[in-house]
Amino acid sequence: MGRSPCCEKAHTNKGAWTKEEDQRLIAYIKAHGEGCWRSLPKAAGLLRCGKSCRLRWINYLRPDLKRGNFTEEEDELIIKLHELLGNKWSLIAGRLPGRTDNEIKNYWNTHIKRKLLARGMDPHTHRPLNAIAGALNLSISLAPYQPGDDPAVKQEAAT
């Protein structure tokens, strides 16, 4: 037996939220505030699980969200905070008013990672890429990958 599901999946909607669902959720939270997410969907008349409602509210519907493009200052702040905190997106989001952890995580993976790589920085360690390669004494081969190169494959072939 695995863990019990967070909700009765047979009776819940999945996928993109409709405008009507959004309106119901907003209206309910405006009237009652953020309370017990598990019981919220039923109380609000939504065929969604509590988790889904919470995520939708936090990442998209909250009135204090900024949304829209990140500024250069925000970029730099995210990079600095990531260097200090690592992938603690909720902590990073806490330092950026109006931004959510999900938004920052997505932005990191789509924009900032690339930005750092373009600067020759490793997005995980925030150190210069060539320094890391040197420290690990790596020799990077540009030859196309061959399945036989995989140690696991080699070992399997040997057995």
Partner DNA sequence: AATGCCTTCAACCGCTTCACC
Partner DNA sequence: AGGTGAAGCGGTTGAAGGCAT
Binding to DNA by residue 65, rule CB under 7 A? no
Angle 57-88-110 from CA coordinates, rounded to 5°: 75
Options 103-111, 115-123, 127-135, 142-150: segment touching DNA (CB under 7 A): 103-111
The correct pick among 42, 88, 115, 154 for binding DNA (CB under 7 A) is 88
Among 31, 72, 110, 141, binds DNA (CB under 7 A): 110
Count CB-CB contacts under 10 A for residue 41: 25
Q: Is 78 in the site for DNA (CB under 7 A)?
A: no
Given 52, 78, 79, 116, the residue binding DNA (CB under 7 A): 52
Which of 126/154 has CB closer to DNA? 126
For residue 49, the minimal CB distance to DNA (Å) is: 7
Q: Which CB, 14 or 30, lies closer to DNA?
A: 14
**CA-based nearest residue to 57, from 86, 78, 33:** 33
Residue with tokens 């250069």: 72
CA angle, residues 45, 14, 42, in degrees to nearest 5:
20
d(CA 76, CA 93): 13
Question: Which residues sit opposite 142 in a β-bridge?
Answer: none
DSSP bridge pairs for 112? none
Binding site for DNA (CB under 7 A): 3-4, 6, 13-17, 35-38, 48, 50-52, 54-56, 59-60, 87-91, 101-103, 105-107, 109-111, 114
